[in-house]
Amino acid sequence: MTDPAPGLDPAIAARLHPTAEGLVPVVVQQHGSGEVLMLAWVDHEALARTIDTGRATYWSRSRREYWVKGDTSGHVQWIKEIRLDCDGDTLLFVVEQVGAACHTGDRTCFDADLVHRIRG
């Protein structure tokens, strides 16, 4: 991971406040419905690649490598919008999801386990 990426607009890089590891969390949301699909991580390089290609590119913390969503599964995320939160420490990718978003095959990474629901 490089910091900053040569391809990332310096004005965008200056607004980001990554973790000590150089990463920014990304909430991924389905375009139109607003459904939350997953959470992933980017560094400057992954964000630059995402902007450049229009396809969601992330940094895998477990594999320590870049991955383009859908390259192996066919479940592509086409970028519609990229938004930065008010603190500059979280991104929102609004995407057109093709197929399942979760590596388990579920539509979203939040389908599997309801922890709590407020009744009333």
What is the per-residue pLDDT across 23-55, written as a single tens digit (0 to 9) for each?
A: 999 999 999 999 999 999 999 999 999 999 999
Strand ranges for the chain from DSSP E: 24-30, 36-42, 57-60, 65-68, 77-84, 91-97
Beta bridge mates, 82:
93
* Domain 10-97 superfamily per CATH: Phosphoribosyl-AMP cyclohydrolase (3.10.20.810)
Predicted TM-score of the model (pTM): 0.91
Please say whether the beta carbons of 54 and 14 come within 8 A: no
Residue 55 carries which DSSP code?
B
Please say whether the beta carbons of 3 and 20 come within 8 A: no
Instruction: Write down the domain spans for the chain.
Output: 10-97
> Does residue 108 carry a pLDDT above 60?
yes
Q: What is the pLDDT of residue 7?
A: 84
Confidence bin at 3 (pLDDT 50/70/90): very low
Q: What is the pLDDT of residue 80?
A: 98
Omega of the bond leading into 10 within 30 degrees of 0 (cis): no
Encode pLDDT of 71-98 as tens digits.
999 999 999 999 999 999 999 999 999 9
